[in-house]
Chain A
Amino acid sequence: MTHFLTHEIGSLAKPEWRVKGVLGRPINNHDIDDAISWGKRLGIEYKPLLQILRGRVLSADDKKEIKRWACLYAVRLQEVAGLDVVYNGEQDRSEMYQYPVTLSDGFIFRGLVRSFDNKYYQKAACVGKPKLKKPWHNDEFLSLQKMTKRIIKIPITGAYTLAAWSFDEFYTGKSQTIGSLKALKEKAKARRAFILDIARYLIRPNIKMLLDLGASWIQIDEPAATTIPSEVPLFVESFNESVRGLKGEFTVHICYSDYRLLFPHIQKMKNCSQYALELSNRDSKELGVSDKQRPGYEILKWFKKYKIPSRIGLGVSDIHSDYIESPQLVRDRILYAVKILGNPALVNPTPDCGLRTRTWEVSFQKLFNIVSGARLAEKKLASPNP
C-alpha cells in the first residue's frame, strides 16, 4: 500500500515565552499558561522549562535553554500531528536571511529596505569574497538528533536567494562606465560570479558539514528562484554547484513564484530529489479531482511534460490563511497530483511554506489534516475502484 511521506517546510511561529525569554522581556502568566497547555497536549515534561521562565533574571545559558525547549515543542507538535519528517520550526534561528548572513564574512548590513506596505528587512551588501564565519546549522542539527527518531530535514537558504536579497558592492566593478554594452555584459558576469561564490563558499561547505555530522536530507530554500526570469539558469547552476560531489538527499523549496519560468531549465538540475512548492494558495476549495476543481495544481502538468523525475513537495495547505483545509480537500489535492504525475511515490504532502504566520493552534490543525488527508488518499488508492 502507498504511504505518502508528509513533512513541513520550515518555520513555525515562535511562542511568546520563547520570544520574550530570548529578548529578556518580562514573561507573563499567559505565556506560562501557554507553555503548560502545549506541554500537556504534546506530552512534554515541561516543569524544568517553567522554572527557567519564572526566573527573575535570565542568563545567557537560560536563553539558550529556552530556545532548546522551543525546538523540542516544535518537534513534538509535528510528531503529534503525525508528520514523517520533522524540523525545529526555525526556533533556533532569527529568520532565513539575516541569520545566515550574520554568520558569514564578506557582508555588511546597509539598512532597512521595504518588502511591501510597512514590512521591512535588513538588507546586506556583499563587500568581499563570501566566507563562512561559523557553521550555520551544525548545532541545530546535533540538537535535533537528540530530540527525535523521525527523519530530520534541515532547510538552508540557497545561494541564488541570498544573492537576490543582497546588494553587490564587490563583484560589480566601481569604475565601470554606464550605458555601454560592455558594462551590461560585465554586470552579468559579475552577477554569476557572486551567486556561484555564495554556492561554493557558503552553501556547499555548510551542507558538507551537515552531511558529515549525519544529516541526510537538506532542503535548499530558494523563494527568489524566478525573481529575474533570465537568471533561472543561474539558479539551476548555483544549486548544482551547492551539492556538487556531495551524497545526500537534496531538495528545493520555491514559493509564491511563477513556476512556469523554471522550465525547461530545471531539466539541468542534478541530484534534486524533490521540488517543494506552494500550490494550495492558487487552488479552489471545492472537493474533486478534475482540472476545473484543482486549478492550483496545473503546473504539475509541466513537470510531467518536461519529464522531471523528482518528487513534488505538494503544498496542500495555505499558510497565509486560518482556513483549515479538511482531510477530504487534502485527499483530493493529493489524488489529483497522483493522477497528473502518474506515480504516488512522487507525491509528498506538505504545507505551502513555513507556518510562522499562523498560531500554533492553526498550524497544528493544518498539519494534522495534511496527515489525515494523506491517509484518506492512501485508502482511496488501495480501494478496488480508486
Chain B
Amino acid sequence: MSKVACFFHGIYPRSGQLAQASRDFDRKRLAIKDLKVKQLADFSALIALQKSGSFDYIEDGKLSWQDIFRPIVEATNGMEVGALTRWFDNNSFFRQPIIGNKINVDTKKLDNYFPVITPAKKWKVTLPSPFTFAKLASSKSHDSFEKRLGQTTEITALIIKYLEKRGVSYVQLNEPSIPYFGTTKKEITVFLKSLSVIKKARKNLKLAIHFYFGDATPIISALNKTDLVDVVGIDFYKTSLSQLPKNINLEVIAGIIDGRNSLMESGSSLKQSVSQIIERLNPPVLYLSNNSDLEFLPEPVAKEKLSLLGELTRSFRSHSL
C-alpha cells in the first residue's frame, strides 16, 4: 500500500498587503526594509499554514521571486534578463533569460532567495528544470538548444550542491515544457542526459521532477525505466490516469489541487481520485500536491486550497500507512 504524504510546490501568491507593498516599493513609496517586513509576515504565515496542515515537506513560497528564473539569472554572471514573455498559456509573464558564452553562478547572491526552513529534514525547494530553463531562454550568440541545456544543467547542478550544503532535503525540478510542447526522441535523450548530470550533483537529498501544463504520460513511461530521479510528478488536470503505466516504481507527486482555477475542489471527489491513483500507480509514496504553481490564484483562495490538501492527506494517513 502506498504511503500518502503532502506538500505544495513552486511560487505561492503574495497576500494583498504584500502585493500592495511591492507596488509601493516600485513607486518609491516604501523602503526596502518595510517591504522585507511584509515579506517576512507572508513567509511566516505560509510556514505556519503548512505546519498546521502537517505537510511532510515545507517550502518558502518564493515570495520575493519575480519569476521562476529571475534570482538565478541575477545571481549568474554572464546571464541577463530579457524581454517580457508569456508563461505558457497563462495571463502571466516572465523575463526571458539571456545566456552568454561564459556563465558562473555566485551562490552567495542566492542566500536571500532561499530562506532557511526548520527542521532541515522537511526543507524542500522547487527549481526550474534545466530543460524548461533552456527551452525558454535565448542565448547571446544564438547557440543551439543542446548548448543552452548544457549551461542550464550546469547551473542547476551547482545550485543543488549549494542547497544541499545549506541543509535542503528535497529538491523538485518543475518541468512544464515537455508536457506542454511535446518532445522529439532526440530531446528526450538530451533531457535524460541532463538529469543524469543533476543526479550526480546531489548526495543525499531527494530529487523530484514534476510535469505539468500538459499530458505527462509519455515522459513518465520513459522515466519509470530509469533511476535518474526519486520522484515523478503528474498534473492530473491534464493527464488521464488510465493512460499511465500501472505500478510505478518511483515515488509520485499527484497534482490534484488546481493552481489555475479558483473553484474549490470537492474533498469527496478528490478522495475518490486519490484512491484510483493509488490503485493504478501503486507508488511507494504518493505526495498529494498542487498541479502548477499556486501564484495564478489570489492568496486567500490558495490558502483555502492548501488547507483542503492537508485535510485530505490526513484522511488517507489514518488508514493507509
Interface residues of A (CB under 8 A from B): 110-120, 123, 125, 164-165, 167-169, 172, 174-181, 184, 187, 224, 227-229, 256
Interface string of B57-95 (1 = CB under 8 A from A): 000000000110000000000000000101001111111
Measured CB to CB, the nearest residue on chain B to A172 is B263
Is B262 within 8 A of A181, CB to CB?
no
Of the candidates B23, B93, B272, the one whose C-beta lies within 8 Å of that of A120 is B23
Is A164 a contact partner of B263 (Cβ separation < 8 A)? no
Of the candidates A167, A177, A180, which one forms a contact with B261 in the assembled complex, judged by CB atoms under 8 Å apart? Answer: A167
Beta-carbon contact of A178 and B263 below 8 Å: no
> Chain A interface: which of B127-135, B151-159, B184-192, B237-245?
B237-245
Complex-state Cα separation, A180 to B272, whole angstroms: 12
Cross-chain contact of B90 among A227, A229, A256 (Cβ < 8 A): A227
**Which residues on B are within 8 Å of A, measured CB to CB?**
13-14, 16, 19, 22-23, 25-26, 66-67, 84, 86, 89-95, 236-243, 256, 261-264, 266, 269-270, 272-273, 276-277, 295-301
Contacts of B266 in A (CB 8 A): 174-175
B301 near A110: Cβ-Cβ < 8 Å? yes
- A224, B261: Cα distance in complex, Å: 17
Given contacts A118-B25, A123-B298, A181-B240, 18 further A-B contacts (CB under 8 A): A110-B262, A110-B297, A112-B13, A112-B16, A112-B19, A112-B298, A112-B299, A114-B13, A114-B14, A114-B92, A123-B262, A167-B261, A177-B272, A180-B240, A181-B242, A184-B238, A227-B91, A229-B89
Q: Name which residue of chain A comes closest to B296, CB basis.
A: A113
Query: 6 tightest A-B contacts by CB?
Result: A111-B298, A116-B93, A118-B22, A179-B236, A179-B241, A167-B262
Does A120 lie within 8 Å of B19, measured CB to CB? yes
Q: Is the CB of A176 within 8 A of B262?
A: no
| Contact partner, B263, options A113, A120, A123, A167, Cβ 8 Å | A167
Centre residue among A118, A179, A229 by max chain B CB count within 10 A: A179
Query: B91, B277, B295: which has the most chain A beta carbons within 10 Å?
Result: B91
Residues A164 and B91 in contact, CB atoms below 8 Å apart? yes
Checking B94, B236, B262, B263 against A116 with a beta-carbon cut-off of 8 angstroms, the contacting residue is B94
Q: Are B240 and A179 in contact (CB under 8 A)?
A: yes
Cβ of B270: which chain A residues have Cβ within 8 Å of it?
A: 178
B263 near A168 with CB under 8 A, answer: yes
Of all chain A residues, which has the CB nearest B298? Answer: A111
Q: Is the CB of B299 within 8 A of A111?
A: yes
Give Cα A214 to B263, complex, Å: 41
What are 11 sample pairs from A and B whose C-beta atoms fall under 8 A apart?
Answer: A110-B298, A111-B299, A114-B13, A116-B93, A118-B25, A123-B298, A168-B261, A172-B263, A178-B236, A224-B91, A227-B89
With A117-B66, A227-B86, A228-B89 as given contacts, are A178 and B237 in contact (CB-CB < 8 Å)? yes
Bound: A113/B13 CA distance, A = 7
Check if B301 sits within 8 Å of A177, measured CB to CB.
no
B13 to chain A, nearest CB (A): 7
Interface contact A169-B261, CB-CB below 8 Å: yes
Minimum C-beta distance from A352 to chain B (A): 14
Inter-chain CA distance A172–B266, complex, in Å, is 12
Nearest B residue to A120 by beta-carbon distance? B19
Residues of A within 8 A of B243 (CB): 181
In angstroms, how far is the closest chain B Cβ from the Cβ of A159? 15
**A181 surroundings in chain B (CB, below 8 A):** 240, 242-243
Cα(A169)–Cα(B241), bound, Å: 24
Instruction: Report the minimum CB–CB distance from B107 to chain A (whole Å).
Output: 24
- Nearest Cβ in chain A — how far from B20, in angstroms? 8
Residues of the A chain whose Cβ atoms lie less than 8 Å from the Cβ of B25 = 118
Residue of A nearest to B90 (CB): A227
Cβ-defined contact, B295 with A114, below 8 A = yes
Nearest chain A residue, comparing its CB with the CB of B67: A116
Is the Cβ of B301 less than 8 Å from the Cβ of A180?
Answer: no
A367 to chain B, nearest CB (A): 24
Contact of A172 with B92 at beta-carbon distance under 8 Å, contacts A111-B298, A111-B300, A113-B297 already known: no
Nearest A residue to B21, CB-CB: A118
Closest beta carbon of chain A to B303's beta carbon, Å:
11
With A116-B84, A227-B86 known as contacts, the answer to whether A179 contacts B296 (CB < 8 A) is no
- In the docked arrangement, what's the CA distance between A84 and B232, Å? 59
**Interface-central residue, B86, B263, B264, B295, by most chain A CB under 10 Å:** B263
B237 CB → nearest A CB, Å:
6
